[in-house]
Amino acid sequence: MLNVIVQLMGGIGLFLLGMSLMTDSLKAIAGEALRQWLVRFTSSPIKALLSGIGLTVVVQSSTATTLATIGFVSAGVLSFSHAIGVIIGANIGTTSTGWMVALLGLKFSISSFALPLIGVGALLKLLGKEKIAFIGLVLAGFGLLFFGIQLLQDAMSGVAQFIDLSHWAEPTITMKLILVVVGILMTIVLQSSSAAITTTLTALATQTINLEQTLALVIGQNVGTVATAVLAALGATTSAKRTAAVHVIFNVVTAIFAFLLLSPLFMWAYNQINIIHQLDPVLLVAAFHTAFSLLGACIFMPLLPRFEQLIVRLLPEKELSSTRYLDESLYSVPALAIATAERVLLQSIADIYGIVVRCIRGEMVATLVKTDEFDRILTKVEHYLDQMTVPQSVADQHRLIILLRLVVYVRVLRNDLNDVAHIENIQNQTIVYALAQHFAGTLEQNIPYLLQEPFLKIPESFVNDLSLIAQEMKEKQEFVRQRIIEDAANRNVSATHTLELLAAQRWLEHLMIHCERVGILLSDTTQTLVDEELDLIQQ
């Protein structure tokens, strides 16, 4: 008995390790592509549904797809109704694991190709770089996953000798409900519905349990995934809580329909239709799992607007600040966590530009500008980035470095905003104020590009405009400065006011240079800036 338990635990452990390696490596390979896919292919509920299915099949993790969705709902990239479509699609896509196990894992001796896959994957990891190394981890994870299934098969063949489950086979409502609860507990304990369903399919293949018991367990295992979603949403953003609510409502309602209608229908077809009775029960369970999720899609897709209204009414947005985007659950997909922090910083830059433009044009009283909110946002972003682990992908590492540079630039722009009251002295200098007006117009043209989704880059033409303005300011400043000093010498202007006018010129010049450098950084995120942040801060 002990040997069977040890083998069973080892099989589950290898399956979970293999699935983790596959999922993490595929997410690292997909990275930014995962983000771009979601943004591009979710323009309608049907496209969102298909995207959720496709992405989950590719990365073999509905969690990765769901976390990506959370990030983009928070950032306003996806409407919540389309996000619901992606989540429903992810539930359908995750049933691919059952098909993979049914068609490959339980049909022949897996160890004959599982071990070579592990070996080849390990070699690619050791000898390859970047994507090749990740592909090696995917292969190794694939091999470990199927080797774990082989151990599960061997262990399950011995379980029936020690445990008599015949009294659980009574076709009563009570017994089925008990099995549903067992299925829920299996998913919670294993923290993976894929592992729970694979264990159940293996038990069915070895005739440890029968088909009716398996269907009840699968229903419970599907419901069990909501526990993970709820735990992940505790203390998280409103978007994460809404997504968890979608999981809970979708899975529970679908499970009720599956329990009352779909399961009896499958059992009737299995007992009454000879062709279906001759099919492998494991294949029937995989089909049931997919039909289970498709049934839920058929129920909820026509009701998306009302479903969205219900969730939003139950969970209203409490924090309106852009920092609501910073969801710690996105750490598991580094490309998305980086994109989310980037979104917050770009919004802050756009807000700073907007304030500068209105102050220059006299639409806002410069002395009333407050920077406390920008301080709070920067503190939250820095804390968020401090908690983030270094991504495995070199591309993501480079994006993180660019993001850290952007934090420095936002802090410098926020410091410039502290002295925006200098604008009042600029307005009294005709030549400089005309240049400031041109500068304001260029900043205003930049704002829509900062807010575009997904963010691509600032057009080079705008960066060139900022460079020309900064250069022109530098050239005209000496002439204007000389006139101010002459006025002071002729006692037309007081010494104190002279210093204020000179300080205002210097402030505007620095602001133009800082905005130019932000434009350079955002016009090409692969460019390495020559000037170090230390020089920037010193200015």
The per-residue pLDDT for 407 is 92
Q: Can you point out the beta strands (E) in 24-159?
A: none
Region 388-416: mean pLDDT is 86
Which residues are within 8 A (CB) of 380 and not within 5 positions of it... i.e. 6 or more apart?
323, 326, 344
CA-based nearest residue to 176, from 250, 252, 259: 259
Both tokens of 167, joined, read: 């009294």
Return the pLDDT at 74.
55
Structure confidence at residue 247 as a pLDDT band (50, 70, 90): confident
Cα 15-175-300 angle, rounded to 5 deg: 70
- pLDDT tens by residue, 444-481: 998 988 888 667 788 888 888 888 988 888 877 766 66
Model's pTM, two decimal places? 0.62
Q: Is the pLDDT of residue 537 over 70?
A: no
Q: What is the token pair recorded at 110?
A: 């897996």
Confidence of residue 355 (pLDDT cuts 50, 70, 90): very high
d(CA 137, CA 122): 7
Question: d(Cα 394, Cα 379) in Å, to the nearest integer?
Answer: 26
Q: What is the DSSP string of 231-295?
A: HHHTTS-HHHHHHHHHHHHHHHHHHHHIIIIIHHHHHHHHHH-HHHHTS-HHHHHHHHHHHHHHH
Containing 402, the helix (H) or strand (E) segment is helix 394-418
Query: What backbone torsions phi and psi does residue 455 show, to the nearest 5 degrees?
Result: -70, 130
With beta carbons less than 8 A apart as the criterion, state whether 146 and 114 touch: yes
Task: Render pLDDT for 82-137 as a digit per residue (tens, 0 to 9).
Answer: 778 888 888 888 888 778 777 765 555 555 667 788 888 888 888 887 778 888 88
Rounded to an integer, the average pLDDT of 298-316 is 84
Band of pLDDT at residue 159, cut at 50, 70 and 90: low
On whether the CB atoms of residues 342 and 455 are closer than 8 A, the answer is yes
Beta carbons within 10 angstroms of residue 126's beta carbon = 9
Average pLDDT over residues 271-290: 87
Query: Nearest to residue 188, comparing CAs of 223, 219, 212?
Result: 223
Largest CA distance in the chain: 109
pLDDT of residue 81: 72
State the DSSP code for 172: -
Q: How confident is the model at residue 422 (pLDDT cuts 50, 70, 90)?
A: confident
Q: For residue 379, how many other CB atoms are within 10 A of its CB? A: 11
The encoded tokens of residue 296 equal 């839920």
Distance CA 459, CA 520 (A): 10
Lowest model confidence (mean pLDDT) among 203-207, 365-369, 483-487: 483-487
Q: State yes or no: pLDDT of 412 exceeds 90.
A: yes
Q: What is the rounded CA–CA span in Å between residue 146 and residue 105?
A: 6
- Answer yes or no: is pLDDT of 183 > 50: yes
The values of phi and psi at residue 109, to 5°, are -65, 115
As a whole number of angstroms, the distance between CA 140 and CA 136 comes to: 6
Check whether 161 has a pLDDT greater than 70. no
Residue 527 has pLDDT above 90, yes or no: no
User: Tell me, what's the pLDDT at 353?
Assistant: 93
For residue 19, pLDDT over 80 is answered with no
Range scoring the smallest mean pLDDT among 177-186, 376-385, 389-398:
389-398
Tell me the C-alpha to C-alpha distance, in Å, between residue 513 and each of 64, 386, 532: 41, 28, 14
Count other C-beta atoms under 10 Å from residue 255's C-beta. 26
Non-local CB neighbours of 95 within 8 Å, separated by 6+ positions: 286, 289, 290, 292, 293
If you average pLDDT over residues 330-341, what whole number do you get? Answer: 76
- Cα–Cα distance for residue pair 425/386, rounded to 1 Å: 40
Q: For residue 475, give the amino acid letter.
A: E
User: Using one digit for the tens of pLDDT, what is the confidence trace for 52-66?
Assistant: 888 777 766 666 666
What's the pLDDT at 60?
Answer: 62
Distance between CA atoms of residues 120 and 464, nearest Å? 51
Q: How far apart are CA 204 and CA 169, in angstroms?
A: 13
* Amino acid 534: pLDDT: 36
What's the rounded Cα separation, in Å, for the pair 112 and 104? 12
- Domains parsed from the chain with CATH numbers: 2-314 (no CATH), 326-538 (1.20.58)
Tokens of 360: 């220059």
Q: Which two tokens stand for residue 212?
A: 């009716």
Of 175, 156, 214, the C-alpha closest to 12 is: 156
Percent of all residues in the chain with a pLDDT value above 70, rounded to a whole number: 73
Q: What share of the chain is helix, strand, coil (3-state, %, to 5)?
A: 80, 0, 20
Assign 497 a pLDDT band (cuts: 50, 70, 90): low
More confident residue, 19 or 398: 398
Looking at the chain, the whole-number percentage of residues with pLDDT higher than 90 is 6
Using CB atoms within 10 A of its CB, is residue 216 exposed (0-12), middle (13-18) or buried (19+)? buried
Q: Do you find a cis peptide bond into 454, omega within 30 degrees of 0?
A: yes
Rounded CA-CA distance 389/386 in Å is 8
Say if residues 118 and 218 touch (Cβ distance below 8 Å): no
Q: How far apart are CA 194 and CA 475, in angstroms?
A: 67
- Mean pLDDT of the residues in the chain: 78
DSSP sequence for 297-351: HHHHGGGHHHHHHHHHHHS-----SGGGG--GGGGGSHHHHHHHHHHHHHHHHHH
**Collapsed DSSP state (helix, strand, coil) of residue 458:** coil
CA 118 to CA 328: how far, in whole Å? 32
Q: Is 531 helix (H, G, I), strand (E, B) or coil?
A: coil
Q: What average pLDDT does range 269-287 have in this prediction?
A: 87
Answer yes or no: is pLDDT of 539 > 50. no
Cα separation of 56 and 42, whole Å?
14
Question: What CA–CA distance (Å, rounded) separates 321 from 343?
Answer: 12
pLDDT band at 351 (very low <50, low <70, confident <90, very high): very high
Q: How confident is the model at residue 411 (pLDDT cuts 50, 70, 90)?
A: very high
